């Protein structure tokens, strides 16, 4: 993937290796086996071609190459890109994608190809290619997250008349709008888009021109290269630029949070789709069956999404464990940064569309959701009733708690408790006390911004629609 800082020497005879002149013999096959990274970094080729073309142009502007030489390299790289796009494959001596492109460029452009590496190192080269790839990946991940958000929003818009229990400690807590519950999974994904955008901004610093560690000895116009490649800034320190993988860590953290949020959505739906809950039914297109039990409908997409969260977390921990003890500058340990990054991003590109598709096929059972709401869930509303009458919340809490206990012991709903029991529990209870135990009234009372009241939820839907039209 990259070489150590000794990678600046000339090509070994007949191999197009970017190093080796100071060695008397070739490397051991065992070294080649562990050192060869083209199976991982091959996907960087479009970005390596782009940055190499920008570097060739920079060498021309600096007077290191003639304009004809610079143009010949840029055109040769176009032909290399076309060959790779058409299916050109690595050969045994291509230890990484940079070596493969160098070999193909020699075939296409001739000896002028040997001038392209002037003033640069694979250290700043791979850092630049990796950043370009990451910037592109962040943009594509943002689009995939928005598709999942859209699936949640579309379903949420159908549940404005649905009421179901909200849970704390996985115990029934208070009733909420179905829309409110589903949008509770929309907003974490919105934060993930912000994290990815921040990671992309942190990635958009150009390291090319940093050389191996001390900078380039040629007056390359780095600002021109920055603008050509779409970076926002130029790295201020060559030592930091070649060894910096903060952008990988930040992108992996954003990916991890996205995977965690997908896992939490999946967990809710797995539970709510069980026979014991029956709030939701999974569609045929995103369910599987059992090889033994004909009746089974398994939510495999959501289970796989839940499991994938652990894998992406592992990639983040692996990367942080790699960089935490490295000295300044480039070390070959950093070759593994792309394995972690590519794996996490690839996994999300599988999980996010599958989740969006599965959510789009969900069918909700409003009756099961509503029937799961018991009158005891409005105990807080009953306490609020007393507070509005002048009681302190603490004494109201105690009075309502005693009524909850009576209902539990008698095995009845709180709405079936005799009125005299209410009066006995607290003198401020009136004949209308049981009206506070209605689920619809409970929702209506919580019309504060961010709450589950009908008007608040309508405003929240508008906010969600607006968030999908903005750039992250």
Q: Are 314 and 303 in contact (CB under 8 A)?
A: no
Q: Is 201 exposed, middle or buried (0-12, 13-18, 19+ CB in 10 A)?
A: middle
Indicate if 68 and 129 belong to the same structural domain: no
Q: Express each pLDDT in 68-87 by its tens digit.
A: 999 999 999 999 999 999 99
C-alpha closest to that of 46 among 85, 76, 72:
85
Task: Provide the pLDDT for residue 468.
Answer: 95
Task: Provide the pLDDT for residue 83.
Answer: 98
Indicate if 165 and 71 belong to the same structural domain: no
**DSSP H or E segment with residue 252:** helix 246-272
Domain count, the chain: 2
More confident residue, 336 or 472: 336
Enclosing domain of residue 299? 124-371
- Residues involved in catalysis: 169, 290
Task: Provide the pLDDT for residue 297.
Answer: 76
Task: Provide the pLDDT for residue 389.
Answer: 94
Quick check: 6 pLDDT over 70?
Answer: no
Indicate if 147 and 239 belong to the same structural domain: yes
Confidence of residue 446 (pLDDT cuts 50, 70, 90): very high
Going by the DSSP 8-state scheme, the letter that residue 111 receives in this structure is G
**DSSP H or E segment with residue 83:** helix 67-85
Final residue of a domain: which of 338, 371, 404? 371
Task: Provide the pLDDT for residue 470.
Answer: 82
**DSSP H or E segment with residue 222:** helix 222-229
Indicate if 325 and 350 belong to the same structural domain: yes
Q: Are 1 and 40 in contact (CB under 8 A)?
A: yes
Q: Express each pLDDT in 108-167 by its tens digit.
A: 999 999 999 999 999 999 999 999 999 999 999 999 999 999 999 999 999 999 999 999
Task: Provide the pLDDT for residue 199.
Answer: 98
Task: Provide the pLDDT for residue 296.
Answer: 73
Task: Provide the pLDDT for residue 10.
Answer: 40
- Helices 246-272 and 300-323 cross at an angle (nearest 10°) of 160
Residue 444 inside a domain? The answer is no
**CB under 8 Å to 303, separation ≥6 — which residues?**
266, 270
Final residue of a domain: which of 371, 389, 407? 371
**CB under 8 Å to 89, separation ≥6 — which residues?**
none
HSE-up of residue 227 (Cα within 13 Å, Cβ side): 5
CA distance 65 to 61: 8
Q: Express each pLDDT in 25-53 by its tens digit.
A: 667 777 767 767 888 899 999 999 999 99
> Would you tell me how many other CB atoms lie within 10 Å of the CB of residue 244?
22
Q: Express each pLDDT in 282-326 by its tens digit.
A: 988 777 776 677 777 788 999 999 999 999 999 999 999 999 999
Indicate if 90 and 217 belong to the same structural domain: no
Dihedral pair phi/psi, residue 166, rounded to 5°: -95, 150
Residue 218 inside a domain? The answer is yes
CA distance 451 to 457: 7
Q: Which CATH number belongs to the domain containing residue 72 in this structure?
A: 1.10.275.10
Judge if pTM exceeds 0.85: yes
Task: Provide the pLDDT for residue 2.
Answer: 37
Task: Provide the pLDDT for residue 5.
Answer: 34
> Would you tell me how many other CB atoms lie within 10 Å of the CB of residue 284?
9
Q: Are 93 and 15 in contact (CB under 8 A)?
A: yes
Write out the E strands in 239-341: 280-281
- What is the mean predicted confidence (pLDDT) over 432-436? 93
Q: Are 393 and 387 in contact (CB under 8 A)?
A: yes
Task: Provide the pLDDT for residue 42.
Answer: 94
Quick check: 246 pLDDT over 70?
Answer: yes
Task: Provide the pLDDT for residue 9.
Answer: 35
Indicate if 245 and 268 belong to the same structural domain: yes
């Amino acid at each position: 993937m990259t070489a150590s800082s000794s990678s600046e020497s000339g090509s070994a005879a007949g191999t197009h290796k970017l190093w080796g002149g100071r060695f008397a013999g070739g490397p051991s096959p065992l070294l080649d086996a562990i050192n060869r990274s083209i199976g991982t970094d091959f996907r960087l080729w479009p970005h390596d071609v782009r940055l190499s073309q920008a570097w060739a142009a920079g060498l021309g502007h600096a007077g290191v190459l003639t304009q004809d030489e610079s143009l010949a390299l840029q055109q040769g790289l176009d032909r290399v890109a076309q060959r790779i796009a058409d299916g050109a494959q690595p050969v045994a001596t291509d230890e990484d994608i940079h070596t493969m492109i160098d070999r193909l460029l020699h075939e296409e452009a001739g000896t002028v190809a040997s001038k392209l590496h002037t003033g640069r190192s694979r250290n700043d080269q791979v850092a630049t290619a990796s950043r370009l790839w990451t910037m592109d990946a962040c943009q594509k991940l943002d689009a995939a997250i928005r598709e999942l958000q859209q699936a949640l929003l579309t379903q949420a818009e159908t549940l404005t008349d649905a009421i179901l229990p909200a849970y704390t400690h996985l115990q029934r807590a208070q009733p909420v709008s179905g829309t409110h519950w589903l949008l509770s999974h929309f907003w974490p994904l919105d934060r993930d888009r912000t994290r990815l955008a921040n990671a992309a901004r942190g990635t958009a610093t150009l390291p090319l021109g940093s050389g191996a560690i001390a900078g380039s000895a040629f007056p390359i116009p780095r600002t021109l290269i920055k603008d050509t490649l779409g970076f926002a800034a130029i790295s201020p320190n060559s030592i930091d630029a070649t060894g910096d993988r903060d952008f990988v860590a930040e992108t992996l953290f954003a990916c991890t949070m996205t995977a965690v949020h997908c896992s939490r959505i999946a967990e809710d739906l797995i539970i709510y789709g069980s026979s014991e809950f029956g709030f939701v039914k999974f569609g045929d297109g995103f369910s599987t069956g059992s090889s033994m039990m004909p009746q089974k409908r398994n939510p495999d997409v959501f289970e796989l999404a839940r499991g994938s969260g652990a894998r992406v977390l592992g990639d983040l921990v692996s990367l942080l464990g790699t960089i935490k003890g490295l000295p300044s500058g480039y070390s070959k340990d950093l070759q593994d940064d792309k394995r972690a990054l590519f794996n996490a991003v690839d996994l999300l590109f599988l999980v996010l569309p599958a989740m969006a598709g599965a959510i789009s096929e969900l069918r909700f059972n409003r009756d099961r959701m509503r029937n799961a709401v018991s009158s005891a869930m409005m105990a807080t509303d009953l306490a609020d009733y007393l507070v509005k009458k002048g009681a302190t919340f603490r004494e109201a809490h105690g009075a309502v708690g005693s009524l909850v206990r009576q209902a539990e012991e008698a095995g009845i709903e709180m709405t079936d408790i005799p009125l005299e029991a209410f009066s006995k529990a607290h003198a401020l209870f009136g004949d209308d006390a049981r009206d506070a135990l209605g689920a619809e009234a409970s929702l209506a009372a919580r019309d504060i911004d961010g709450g589950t009241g009908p008007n608040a939820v309508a405003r929240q839907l508008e906010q969600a629609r607006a968030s999908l039209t903005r750039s992250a």
